[in-house]
Structure 1
């Protein structure tokens, strides 16, 4: 067992989910897994599915889920383990006849059920709670539990069983549970998806959903719509973006000509009407400061024309220093638009410095920040030189779990083989997985193609700090970018939903030992070097092919890659020696050899150095 991370915890006690069945993994596979945080029961949770070269340890190796229909119609009667129906193990539920005073602004849709019996079932746990009255309205529904004289929100839920119940997933079974609906939200929630994408059902019911499906065009001053854009947006906003270099060049040229600007506005209105959009979302990045007056007039005119059609207008503004020239007149945009969405800096290392400085300036200038929502992207970020690009959580952890060996020859029984986490091995100049106080995120730096690279991982821990910033500066809401259903991205929805409903946000760091790499071997002994990202594997005493797995985590999800190594005893290879006689050849020369063999031991090569999925 490794010692706990000595770094201070900021600012609250550590809390962790999705660490299901670590003990079982260690027992069955002989690996060295990090210790579980003291005082927490075994739990589990959601996350992405494994790709070709990565393994999600939770749910793939373990594959254990518990579903309890304990509170719907026949309490504790339907227990599913790993998808197979079994009998519930002593779980009994009972509805209370009275309920403690409810939090302000919530309505109880169910009784408060006490849950008795063995509640230490391995997670994740899917609970279905019977409702007092059937409903199919999923807005603002959540599980709550009552403990220590206060209500605590557990998770977002959705109607089930034709509206007679509400179903949700928890990390562990609570002592009691009820379903509440919050009547009024503390913060607004918006979402951004791409054309052809489906909004993640776990997002709840965002007030505004933007479908990015249009881009300014230079040729006709119009809007190029994506072929994947639905013909009927069904109450969502049509998003028009200049995120590409060609789109930015087009809108800067359009805004330089009033006639072109008018034609562009006409095209947007036509597209909104054709797609039956509820409104328009303008996300024009890269505007030149000289276009300030033209862009302001464009927004004001577009807002007025949309209003006559009973459509809204959302305008995205970037984070720009308050003292520098900018194309975005905050006061005018705020007055014209239905809502203002603020994009944070793309560089995680500068995120808080730049964003807080910009918000202070706007607040001091009298901007009503209640009308501003902060855009939070679910994707992680990778820096390579001056380039910063978005990457998925799956891709980030796949990079971190790359595995190799420092082999110069084959492996014989009993050999000591040095294993390396190629991108987290600190002995080779990488930083290893760590929490970064400046970016408030898990990060690691490594030597990639073309030079040094750094990845910052977005997960529920980093998002909590972003929500806290939003709260401290008095912004009115949060917008989740990349909000489509995508198993390669982190599950942030419970964290976001709790904040939107009542402003609750817990600032926590991942449990330190979970950020340290863990090694597992099918056979043989693994001696992990403390915190270095390297290990030594002592090969078994017999020949064969053996699997080694490197497991890494961002503190929420565990992912690994597997390497197969061949162990073979030394073999004898003939070494030519003796006398030669010449025989005729096609060219007239003679050449032949008679040899006597002397044994020279050689080793079979170690097996593949490419990662393969574990089974």
Structure 2
């Protein structure tokens, strides 16, 4: 059975990427990301400032609590418990709250420390912000968007998992990732038909004592002919051994301590050959004290079973150091399928060897294809504007109907909304010329949290990020990732429904929102060129599109001369 790229959950159609995928397009000039992060991110330079009182007559934002609340399993208190002081105003509109807390004992490494809030309704502690220690390790600082009623600093006692960052060739690592990443995977190499390895090591990744660099040798169906090349390299023992020797030579030439193999989209007939190849490669590199990791596609849930296809997870796990599960693209079925897939895998593989990959890319589904989009590309589609009037009919002091082309609910579209069944912000639209309906699922700080919760549930070995670069066109998932990495627990949030509603504005005249993805524009009394703007949000950032519209003067009424006598 051939597991072709674009027809499968991990396929994304086109582009030279480790997981496949369409290359990111530059945003059009008509859509600007306004970068107004609404949740989970500090607004630089705008902080309320508070301390946690040590006792006595407390006049600070938070005061010591005498409540006896147990720490969750796997954690211990690194500070006292504090309660919000009702006599002190914690925050002002437009300001974040920055709080400092003294630790019970010094800690120079903040990776295992987090501020937690206590949820009185659910009766549980939840991570709310990283705890950043000072130079002496005696005091930690946290930044909150609001002021939780009960907080404490907790230390995670269970081992931290791997944080794996995939990077496009010669890309720069996201600044938010640098303090937390343990493995960096630059996507630098591809297999050659002669068994060699093409490409060169990225030069943009600085050396660090906090992470290892294991470059990726990638092949998948998004590049024509790549899968056929891999099949030929795995065809017999001689070809496999030659390829192994070439990889080992490249690893030593590059001066790295390990390599990642990401040969996706192989047919099931390659199951034995691929396992033998990985085993031979691991044996040679392990003998040199080097690591071998693999990136494998997620198994598929069929009607009666879980199908691994060409990838024998159990046999491969016995040979390699780590397995990263490539992103499962089909967001419509992710929450239904992935728990079953992970239950299947963790029944066969030591969970600590499995790493779940999350993605900052949006996905577009419809028919049999699944496409990968940047957030800007996705919101470019969402913010398109239609003027529903002929140019000559747009005159002064008249009503003109305008609409969000792909969010107009009067056209049977969904608009942008939160889908609880998929735990994503999404919208559906119709393609032109009868191309059918498509649904775009947006990845951001909200959706990622609901994926991260699978990691502690199945005790997986960590999280991987499909693209951890500084690419500003992608969804900013780091406000969800950083608290998870430091605390080990996901922050589960939903966007404010009001934030997802479209906002209309116009440079002349007045505009009324219908509440259904369209608006009525009452044109000004003066002719000229006016700008109509549509602003949308994914719940975390704002995106705006504008169109210029010419308003014409009304044509003077023409009169027909009255007939005169004799004519």
TM-score range, shorter chain: 0.7 to 0.9
RMSD over aligned Cα atoms: 4.1
CA shift in 2, pair 1:152/1:368, >3 Å? closer
SS at match of 2:229: helix
The structure having more radius of gyration, on CA atoms, is 1
Alpha-carbon distance, 1:238 to partner: 1.5
Q: Which runs of 5+ in 1 are unaligned?
A: 1-48, 73-90, 578-615
Match of 2:234 in 1: 255
- The alignment status of 1:549 with 2:533, answered yes or no, reads yes
2:316 matched to 1:333?
Answer: yes
Q: Work out which of the residue numbers 290, 304, 313 in structure 2 matches 1:311.
A: 290
For residues 199 and 257 of structure 1, do their structure 2 counterparts lie closer, same or farther at Cα, with a shift above 3 Å needed? same
Query: 1:467 aligns to what?
Result: 452
Quick one: structure 1 residues 215 and 58, their matched pair in 2 at CA, closer, same or farther if it must change by over 3 Å?
A: closer
The DSSP-based 3-state class of the residue aligned with 2:341 is: helix
Tell whether 2:172 aligns with 1:190: no
Native 8 Å contact 2:327 2:466 kept in 1: no
Q: CA deviation at 1:455?
A: 1.3
Question: 164, 170, 175: which is aligned to 1:201?
Answer: 175
* Shift in CA distance, 95/426, structure 1 to aligned 2, threshold 3 Å: closer
Taking a change above 3 Å as real, the CA distance of residues 209 and 432 of structure 1, as seen in their structure-2 partners, is same
User: How far apart, in 1, do the equivalents of 2:131 and 2:174 lie?
Assistant: 13
**Distance in 1 between the 2:387 and 2:426 partners?**
23
* Residue aligned with 1:214, SS: strand
The 8 Å contact of residues 525 and 537 in structure 1, kept in 2 or not, is answered as yes
Q: Tell me the equivalent position of 2:356.
A: 374
For the structure 1 residues 299 and 467, does the alpha-carbon distance in structure 2 shift closer, same or farther, using more than 3 Å as the test? Answer: same
Give the Cα–Cα distance (whole angstroms) in 2 for the partners of residues 359 and 64 of structure 1: 38
Aligned to 1:539: 523
Counterparts of 1:231 and 1:560, CA distance in 2:
34
**How far, CA to CA, are the matches of 2:555 and 2:69 in structure 1?**
79
The alignment partner of 2:280 has SS state of helix
- 1:190 alignment partner, SS class: strand
TM superposition score normalised by structure 1: 0.71
- Deviation of 1:241 after TM superposition, in Å, equals 1.1
Listed one character per residue, the Cα deviations across residues 411-430 of structure 1 (whole Å, up to 9, x for unaligned) are 32321010111121233453
Distance 1:397 1:436 in 2: 17
Q: Are 1:268 and 2:286 an aligned pair?
A: no
Q: Structure 1 CA distance, aligned partners of 2:205 and 2:496?
A: 47
What's 1:406 paired with? 388
Determine the structure 1 residue equivalent to 2:192.
217
Deviation at 1:272, TM superposition (A): 2.2
Change in Cα spacing, 1:285 to 1:517, as seen in structure 2 (3 Å) is: same
The answer as to whether partners of 2:36 and 2:541 remain within 8 angstroms in 1 is no
327-336 vs 379-388, which deviates more? Answer: 379-388
Deviation at 1:335, TM superposition (A): 1.0
- 5 Å matches for 1:215-614? 215-218=190-193, 220-226=194-200, 228-229=202-203, 235-243=212-220, 244-321=223-300, 322=305, 324=307, 326-363=309-346, 366-383=348-365, 385-408=367-390, 409-448=392-431, 451-452=435-436, 453-531=438-516, 533-571=517-555
Equivalents in 2 of 1:493, 1:291: separation in Å?
A: 37
For 2:44 and 2:70, how far apart are their aligned partners in 1?
31
Task: Name which of structure 1's ranges 481-490 and 165-174 shifts more when overlaid on structure 2.
Answer: 165-174
* Structure 2 contact 374–473 (Cα < 8 Å) conserved: yes
2:247 partner SS: helix
In 1, the alpha carbon distance for the partners of 2:65 and 2:400 equals 65
Name the CA distance, whole Å, in 1 between partners of 2:69 and 2:27: 44
Contact 1:510 1:556 in 2 (8 A): yes
- Tell me if structure 1 keeps the 8 A contact 2:164–2:464: yes
After TM superposition, give the deviation of residue 351 of structure 1 in Å: 2.9
Q: TM-score normalised to the size of structure 2? A: 0.76
- Any residues of structure 2 matched to 1:28-67 within 5 Å, and which? 52-57=29-34, 59=36, 66-67=45-46
C-alpha displacement at 1:266, in angstroms? 1.9
Moved more, 313-322 or 283-292: 313-322
Query: What runs of 5+ residues in structure 2 fail to find an aligned partner?
Result: 1-25, 52-58, 562-567
Decide whether the 8 Å contact of 2:65 with 2:83 is kept in 1: no
Q: Which moved more, 1:300-309 or 1:174-183?
A: 174-183
Q: Which piece of structure 1 moves more, 297-306 or 486-495?
A: 486-495
| Inter-partner Cα distance in structure 2 for 1:442 and 1:288 | 34
Structure 1 residues 471, 416: CA separation in 2 closer, same or farther (over 3 Å shift)?
Answer: same
How many residue pairs match? The answer is 509
